[in-house]
A = this chain, B = another copy of it.
Amino acid sequence: MVKILISGFEPFGGDAVNPTGVLMDALANEVIEGAELKTVLLPVHFDECADLLIAEMEAYRPDVVIACGLAKGRTSITPERIAVNVKDIPPGSYADNQGQRPMDEPIVDGSPDGLFSTLPIRAMVNDMSAAGIPATVSNTAGTYICNNTMYRILDYIRVGQLPIRAGFVHFPASTEMAVLQPSVPSLPIPMMLDALRIMIRTVVADS
């Protein structure tokens, strides 16, 4: 039995819903063979989001962590390759939900510049593609809350030399969001939920 901790985010940036929050609700009662699942919803705040996820890791002691977030504007489901040790919100972008707007700050002083995902990202992409779901590896998780969460958990595992595989997956806007903003690329929630199930099975098969 592979213990898998999966996280999503609260809404931010003026949207009423965050599809990764919807995915967490949908996944909460899911049974996937070989996996024991636990979901958690994170606040969109630079420090709290990762603090809370790490607290969940300490409590639940998972084998795998899959953190999920929204990347409005993307067209496919994108497992992230690398987290970078920086907090930076460019002028003109959203501040976090508490109004923070850091620039060029390290997330963890003295830690590595970048940390690779330890999830089987290529197999995840291949398995989603084989199931007819648009997916590709992403080479930047940005420098916002999503990257922050990914970096913090990877660095926590690195420092503690823990036997945990972890990484981050960005999802596009849901079709519900695109109904209100028709120029935004989207995928339906049921397809994104299938994608998450597939990625969980990929991870189980690879464990």
Interface residues in chain A, defined as those with a beta carbon under 8 Å from any beta carbon in chain B: 75-76, 81-82, 84-86, 88, 90-92, 103-104, 112-116, 122, 129, 132-137, 139-140, 142-143, 175-176, 178-188, 191
Contact = CB atoms under 8 A, between A and B. Distances in A.
A115 B86 CA distance: 12
A133 B175 contact: yes
A15 B181 CA distance: 22
B75 A114 contact: no
B134 A178 contact: yes
A91 to B, nearest CB: 8
Contacts of A134: 175, 178-179, 182, 184, 186
Contact of A183 (B75, B178, B179, B187): B75
Contacts of A92: 180-181
A145 to B, nearest CB: 14
Nearest to A184: B75
A181 B88 CA distance: 16
Nearest to A128: B179
Contacts of A90: 136-137
Contacts of A133: 175, 179
Contacts of A185: 75, 185-186
A196 to B, nearest CB: 16
Contacts of A178: 75-76, 134
Contacts of A135: 179, 182
Contacts of A86: 81-82, 139
Nearest to A177: B134
18 contacts: A75-B184, A81-B84, A82-B84, A85-B116, A88-B137, A88-B139, A90-B136, A92-B180, A104-B122, A113-B113, A114-B114, A133-B175, A134-B184, A134-B186, A136-B183, A139-B142, A139-B143, A140-B140
